[in-house]
Structures are given as structure tokens and as C-alpha cells.
Amino acid sequence: MTEITPPAGAETHGIGRAVIIGAGLIGASIGCALSTAGYAVHLRDHKISHARVAAGLGAGTLEPPVSTDVALVVVAVPPGAIPDLVVHSLQVYPNATVTDVGSVKAGVLDTLWQRHVELSRYVGSHPMAGSHHSGPMTAHPDLFVDRTWVVTPHRRSAAESVDQVRAAVRACRAREVIMDVDDHDAAVARVSHLPHLMSVLVASRLTGIPERDLMLAGQGLRDVTRIAGSDPMLWQQIVGANSDAVLEELRGMQDQLGLLIKAVEATPATDDLQGQLERGVAGTRKIAGKHGAAAVRYSEVVVAIPDEPGALARLFGEVGAAGVNVEDISIEHDPVREVGYLSLSVAPEQEDALVETMLSHGWNVS
């Protein structure tokens, strides 16, 4: 699709000329979104194949722009390469606002300070669009729709440049959040980097235990360790770029772990352990549930499904025909039998109807 019509309801914001450096999933998707919104987008990537694929998807052109015409540069490269490319872009495009989409913000700003670069045209940002994919093949103009996108102005940023970045965020139809650079980095250390590293530590321990122990592993272990499977190179750069905030979290975790050990040692003489477990429950409730509402408890119905094409289709067809609205689904696979266990979460008042429907169609419900 080389031509994309703006979706109904999309506003077209400040039409301008933009350069996107890095045509991976994020960069190419921003290109698609900005092109859709009416920007003239120029793509750059040291992997020319990435830039070509992105251009083919409607993310922009491979033609170089007249550098003085460029109003916005988006640096969308791996964290380690961001500071140099921001400096470079400020020099090459003298009239452009430069932003980046890295997940850590202070380091970029520090580099600009250290190199005595004029800072007013740089405004960092961070779109929260997660994906395991890194290439542009699955780029899409809607990748950021209603996702949080943090913009991090600083003391020296020009109001005009902040507006330029905010306009681009709105053009991507993301949910804009303005944060101080250090507040942003502390926040991602808390909600992303620390959880990631804890997942890594739990997963690491599995490398040193007897094989047989793993037969006793369940879905909980899989959930806790899933993100530890992410690209170590990327995460080394992310954690390295945010090491101060991450170290503060890790040291806080060290204190908490010490208290937990004391609580387990004191069991059952004291209730400290239960208090800590309850604080964990309270923490899970703080993560917003569906649609921004407080976390809701749904009823869960588990159905055994044969591992064959069409089984899920048949099941969801029957669920739909019964008028049941499934709120969430997950599959746990049996490690030996060719079968999966599908968990369907539904509003408590729909549980009975769902169970009846499933049983009447011959499914094994547990």
C-alpha cells in the first residue's frame, strides 16, 4: 500500500517536512502515521532494505530533503546510537526540531550539554508501543493510536520545538503525556526496567537447577520470566542509559528482599510475611484494568481444545452465537498431549451462560 487515505476522524496537524532516521518498526510506523496526516516524510536508515520496505508501506520517500526545509527530525534508532544522531541532526538540519523515541531521556540531554550543543531545538519523547518485532515489515500508521507517548521538554527547549513534537504525537493519534526528563526516567526504571531485571534474575536461576525440577513449573513461572527472553543487547543499552535510576530501584529492591527474608525467617511467629504478600496484591490492583478502569475480577472458564485448525474458530463461533462477550483469553498448552487449555474471562453474570453453551456443544469445561 503506497497510498494511504487518512482514516475518518484523523485531524491533519501542522503539515511540514520531516526526516525519520531509523526505519525499524517504530520509525516506519511514525513515518506511516505522519504521511497519513499530511507530512512530507523522508526516510533514512543505514540498512537500505529497511528504508525501502518502509517506503513501500507508505512511510515516506527515500529522496533526501533540502536540509534547510526540514521542520522535524525523529531519531528512531537503538538507544546506544541516539545521542550521536541527535547531535548530528541538530547540525545537519539547522531549522528542524529534533526528537528521539528512546526509552531513556536524561542521557541524551547530558550528552548535548557535555558537547556544548545548542539545546533549544531538541525535545525528547518516548512512545509506549511495545512489540517484539524490530523490522519495518509490520509497520502501521495505527501503531500508536491511544498509546501513551511521553514528551519531555527541558529548561532550554524552545516553546516552538515543544509544540512541533506535540503536533507530531497528536498526528500519530497517541495519548500525549508531558513529563520532566528525570521523572520520566525514574518512572520507566520503576514500571519497566526493574520488573525486567527481576524477570531476568528469576529466569537466570533456572539455568542452574536440575532438569527434573522444571516438570513442576506452571504458568506462573512462564509469566514472570517471559520478558527475560527479550534482546540482551537492546536491554544492556537501555539499562546502561538509565543506570542511576535503575540502581536506585535495585537498591530499594535489595532492602525489600532483606525484609522479606526476615519475614520468612520469623514465620509463623509474626504476621510480617502475610503483610508483605498483601502489599503485593495491593500493587497488582494499582495497575489499571481494562479501559482505564480499576482492575475488575472476571470469572474464568477453562476449556480444553484440541490442537487443530478450526477448533478455536468453532469455539468462538459458539461463544459469539450465545451472545457472551469474552473480556480476556489465554491459552496454556499441555506439554505432552496435543491439547490446549483456553481460559475465557467473562463478566461473572455471563459465566453460567458460557459454561452451558460450552457443555452443550461438547467441550470439556473445567
Q: What residues numbered 86-125 form the site for its own copies, per CB under 8 A?
A: none
Residues from 238 through 297 that contact its own copies (CB under 8 A) = 239-240, 243, 246-247, 249-254, 256-258, 260-261, 264-265, 267-268, 273-274, 276-292
Q: Is residue 335 at the binding interface for its own copies, with CB under 8 A as the rule?
A: yes
Count of residues that interact with its own copies, criterion CB under 8 A:
141
Q: Is the torsion defined by CA of 22, 124, 173, 325 positive or negative?
A: positive
User: HEC string of 272-300?
Assistant: HHHHHHHHHHHHHHHCCCHHHCCCCCCEE
What Å distances lie between residue 164 and 57, 98, 168, 328, CA to CA? 24, 9, 6, 38
Q: Which of 3, 114, 130, 349 binds its own copies (CB under 8 A)?
A: 130
Select 91 or 138, whichever has its Cβ closest to its own copies. Answer: 138
Q: Is residue 167 at the binding interface for its own copies, with CB under 8 A as the rule?
A: no
Q: Is residue 192 at the binding interface for its own copies, with CB under 8 A as the rule?
A: yes
- What dihedral do alpha carbons 346, 351, 356, 361 form, nearest 10°? 20
Q: What is the pattern of x (binds its own copies, CB under 8 A) and - over residues 12-51? A: -----------------x----------------------
Q: Is residue 360 at the binding interface for its own copies, with CB under 8 A as the rule?
A: no
Question: Torsions phi, psi of 215, nearest 5?
Answer: -65, -20
Q: Is residue 361 at the binding interface for its own copies, with CB under 8 A as the rule?
A: no
Yes or no: say if 192 and 128 are a contact pair by the CB < 8 Å rule.
Answer: no
Q: Which of 11, 317, 348, 356 binds its own copies (CB under 8 A)?
A: 317
Yes or no: say if 36 and 10 are a contact pair by the CB < 8 Å rule.
Answer: yes
Q: Smallest distance, Å, CB 112 to its own copies? A: 19
Question: Torsions phi, psi of 304, nearest 5?
Answer: -80, 130
Q: Smallest distance, Å, CB 17 to its own copies? A: 26
Q: Smallest distance, Å, CB 65 to its own copies? A: 27
CB neighbour list of residue 163: distance below 8 Å, 6 or more residues apart: none
Which DSSP category does 192 fall into?
Answer: I
